[in-house]
Amino acid sequence: AVVRVLMALAPGYVHPDEHFQNAEVAAARVLGVASSPPWEFTADAPARTMALPIAVSGLPFVALRAAAAVVGAWPAVVT
């Protein structure tokens, strides 16, 4: 969450679609959610790395998956 706030407040050109793409791509990779990844992340010709989506959105999803393992089920928000 801190990284997201810092990135949102940092000066520079903002690409709003990247904020949504990061969560979508990370959820597909970490949680196994069905999605259609943007062309930048496809295996055929990736133009962007997965490092930022995994660092920004993936780590909270890993924590969510670990919490779900303790509880025994996915929270209703995820399903």
Q: Which residue has the tokens 């670990």?
A: 66
pLDDT for residue 64? 85
Give residue 73's pLDDT: 67
Task: Measure the CA–CA gap between 71 and 8, rounded to whole angstroms.
Answer: 32
pLDDT, tens only, 13-51? 666 777 778 888 888 888 888 888 888 888 787 888 888
Mention every residue, 6+ apart, whose C-beta is less than 8 A from residue 20: none
How crowded is the C-beta side of 40, counted as CA atoms within 13 Å?
A: 11
Mean residue pLDDT of the chain comes to 80
pTM: 0.65
The pLDDT > 70 percentage for the chain reads 86
pLDDT of residue 68 exceeding 60, the answer is yes
